[in-house]
């Protein structure tokens, strides 16, 4: 649980299009790392290379190394499906299985892994829903469809589903961008809780959110239109938002773009 991620000289392509150039960074265990930067600079692309979701796009490929506690997740013998189980992902739009019950949404991954024992699955559902700060709101309607929950509850359901399989890392791509401010705060509080047990990487276009939830912040940018995205700098969140090293970061966080 809660493993460290190291990226070493990672280059990412969509066919011949070089989307992201030479990213090296470390994500320590039990911490939150935020990716910020203008739209199109490659934040989601980098995130998807961290659990081998990038390569499901035809022609897409990754160069360099992504190490999980020192083990290269792109090594020949590694099964990408096993990587995705170990490194869970939460997306921008909550995507529960809408007609499946709340309980079955949470334990879907464990069932796929072959767990059949009803009592064990009930325990996992309760532990995961408690972990996602959703238990009290749904405990009396676990058999009702996941699609009947509010947007914010659905996103917490997706987080419960992600943590049910006890991943080593949780990736979140703009998890609050479809949510109202109250639901957003609930997710931000939850991220603060989850980092005690998990390694978390969150993409956010909201700089206040990055400042609120993350320990370190990585700023990505494009040198020019058509050039690949690159990591400009990564540092303690406090430092990035008060006294960044790079002029490009300063311009971005103070709202002077381009
Ligand atoms: N499936 C795809 N096929 C081809 N190019 C893509 C694909 N997804 C993203 N890109 C391109 O890769 C670059 C980075 O995109 P993305 O990672 O989505 O940026 P961000 O998340 O920072 O907004 C952009 O130029 C985008 O158009
Ligand atoms: Mg994105």
Average pLDDT taken over every residue of the chain: 95
Give the tens place of pLDDT for each residue, 198-211.
Answer: 999 999 999 999 99
Q: Give 19's pLDDT tier (boundaries 50, 70, 90).
A: very high
pTM of the model: 0.95
Q: Give 257's pLDDT tier (boundaries 50, 70, 90).
A: low
Give the tens place of pLDDT for each residue, 176-192.
Answer: 999 999 999 999 999 99
What does the block give as tokens for 95? 């995507």
Rounded alpha-carbon distances, angstroms, from residue 16 to 20, 60, 190, 230 = 12, 9, 39, 17
Backbone angles phi, psi at 212, to 5 degrees: -75, -40
CATH code of the region 5-254: 3.40.50.300
- Report which ligand 1 atom has the smallest distance to the Cα of 46: 17
Give the tens place of pLDDT for each residue, 135-157.
Answer: 999 999 999 999 999 999 999 99
By most ligand atoms within 8 Å of CB, the mutation choice from 10, 14, 225 for ligand 1 is 14
Instruction: Look up tokens 């011949």; give the residue.
Output: 16
3-class DSSP state of 141: coil
Q: Provide the phi-psi class of 42: left if phi over 0, else alpha when psi is between -120 and 50, else beta.
A: left
Does 57 sit in the ligand 1 pocket, CB within 6 Å? yes
Rounded alpha-carbon distances, angstroms, from residue 257 to 223, 239, 247, 249 = 12, 20, 11, 10
């Amino acid at each position: 649980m809660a493993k460290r991620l190291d990226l070493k000289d990672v280059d990412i392509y969509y066919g011949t299009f070089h989307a992201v150039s030479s990213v090296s960074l470390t994500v320590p265990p039990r911490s939150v790392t935020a990716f910020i930067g203008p739209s199109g600079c490659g934040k989601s692309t980098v995130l998807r290379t961290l659990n081998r979701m990038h390569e499901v796009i035809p022609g897409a490929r990754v160069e360099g190394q992504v190490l999980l506690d020192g083990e290269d997740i792109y090594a020949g013998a590694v099964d990408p499906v096993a990587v995705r189980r170990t490194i869970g992902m939460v997306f921008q739009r909550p995507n529960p299985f809408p007609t499946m019950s709340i309980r079955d949404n949470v334990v879907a991954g464990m069932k796929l892994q072959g767990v059949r024992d009803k009592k064990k699955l009930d325990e996992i559902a309760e532990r995961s829903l408690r972990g996602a700060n959703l238990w009290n709101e749904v405990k009396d309607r676990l058999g009702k469809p996941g699609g009947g929950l509010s947007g914010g509850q659905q996103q917490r359901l997706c987080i419960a589903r992600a943590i049910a399989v006890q991943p080593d890392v949780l990736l979140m791509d703009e998890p609050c961008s479809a949510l109202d401010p109250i639901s957003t705060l609930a997710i931000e509080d939850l991220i603060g809780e989850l980092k005690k047990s998990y390694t978390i990487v969150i993409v956010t276009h909201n700089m206040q959110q990055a400042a609120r939830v993350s320990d370190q912040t990585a700023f990505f940018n494009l040198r020019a239109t058509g050039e690949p995205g690159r990591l400009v700098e990564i540092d303690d969140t406090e430092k990035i938002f008060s006294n960044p090293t790079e002029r490009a970061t300063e311009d971005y966080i103070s709202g002077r773009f381009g």
